[in-house]
Structure 1
Amino acid sequence: MSAHAFNLDNIDDAVFDAFMNLPENMVGEIIAGELHTVPRPAPKHSLAGSSLGFSIGGPFHHGTNGPGGWWILDEPELHIEGDIVVPDLAGWRRERMPTLPDTAWFEAVPDWACEILSPRTARHDRVVKMPLYAHWGVRHLWLVDPDLRVLEAYELSAGKWVLLKALQEDDEVQLPPFDAAGFSLATLWG
């Protein structure tokens, strides 16, 4: 159990029941005791997330032509400090989390998180989730907007997000924490 231990007692029973009974076409999160729901991503948003997972997963998760040493996962369910959050992608350095948990969720704060923005989720991802990730101490955050074809890379510094770089279209992506191997941003757009 991490220093950010999850406590189910902090969640109202009615909110948790609603969360557990969401239809399969919805993604639910509980943040500060409130249920937030969004539909499953549209195809181009799913493609961007899956392609990003492949692009960094090869060198960093599997160690193919890269350093390895990471767990890179799609839509992991995080249970931290009484919140339930589902980033589109997240990564943990294996030195901090040597094995995957036996539960269907994670209680360890990821080292990197990524949100794939859509018109329906962009405000929530920026206004609600970005500050929450900073509070938890996630070191790196990427925001990917498939509609604008933009990737924004942030690093946590003194509890605040600092924009490292914004890339667009087919720029080369070689950004922390995955700067040991690069790929073309165009691979996310299909």
Structure 2
Amino acid sequence: MSITRNRSATYADLQAVPPHRVAEIIDGVLVTHPRPAPKHGVAAAALGADLMAPFQWGRSGGPGGWIFVVEPELHIGNQVVVPDLAGWRRERLPRLPDEAYFDLPPDWVCEVASPSTEAYDRGPKRRIYAEAGVAFLWLLDPRSEVLETFSLAGERWLLTGTFAGREDVAAPPFDAITFSLGDLWPFDDAEPAAPSDAP
């Protein structure tokens, strides 16, 4: 994790960050961190896949009506944050922006915890999302294989569920379907690949 504190960070500072790092401006501070570890990336991709079929495309008995984006850059007032996943109800997002960022807060965000981001995910970013009126927040920790789901109640987050291991998940705003949390850790039960005899 790299933090720049000498002055209030600008968008030009953020744009100057090398592309192999994720950059955010949180409470005036430029914060950068490395791209996610493989277990983090696999869990985020699997969660997106579990949600997109029923809620974006209306498949598998889902209602459709959502748009999901991986690592969108969100401009919320002076804050620039990058959640791992975000979703908008289609009636609120009739078209994608022309810019490389969103200034319309999403309806749902998911942060996937890692050692370099967890303090921000559970601290200032939770506050930023609440102040912006994001209705739902999920915090996913691939290391402990735990998903916590929250709904915004006034200005505070209300814990609506905690799921662990391979439990079935049905949580707002996506409680129209159930998926296995175990989908997010596909290597837990995997057998080691047999050695190849090929030269």
- Global fold match (TM > 0.5): yes
> Per-residue CA shift, 1:103-155, capped at 9, x if unaligned?
11111110000000011111111111001101111000000000000000000
State how far apart, in whole Å, the 1-side matches of 2:16 and 2:154 are.
39
3-state SS in 2 of match to 1:62:
coil
2:191 maps to: none
What is the Cα deviation at residue 98 of structure 1? 1.5
- Please, which of 97, 112, 117 is the counterpart of residue 113 of structure 2? 117
* Percentage identity across paired residues of the two chains: 49
Partner residue, 2:25: 30
Scaled by the length of structure 1, what TM-score is found?
0.91
Offset of residue 34 of structure 1: 1.1
Q: Distance in 2 between matches of 1:131 and 1:80?
A: 12
For residue 142 of structure 1, give the secondary structure of its aligned residue in structure 2: strand
1:56 paired residue number:
51
- The aligned counterpart of 2:133 is 137
Q: Whole-Å Cα distance in 2 between the matches of residues 18 and 102 of structure 1?
A: 22
Unaligned runs of 5+ in 1: 1-10
The structure having more radius of gyration, on CA atoms, is 2
Superimposed CA distance per residue, residues 68-111 of structure 1 (whole angstroms, 9 cap, x where no aligned partner) = 00001100111121211110000000011121112111111100
Hey, which of these two has a bigger chunk of helix by percent? 1
1:79 aligns with 2:67: no
Q: TM-score, normalized by length of structure 2? A: 0.87
Counterpart CA distance in 2 for 1:151 and 1:110 is: 19
Residues 1:182 and 2:175 aligned together:
no
Q: 1:67 aligns with which of 60, 63, 71?
A: 63
Give 1:104's match in structure 2, choosing from 100, 103, 108.
Answer: 100
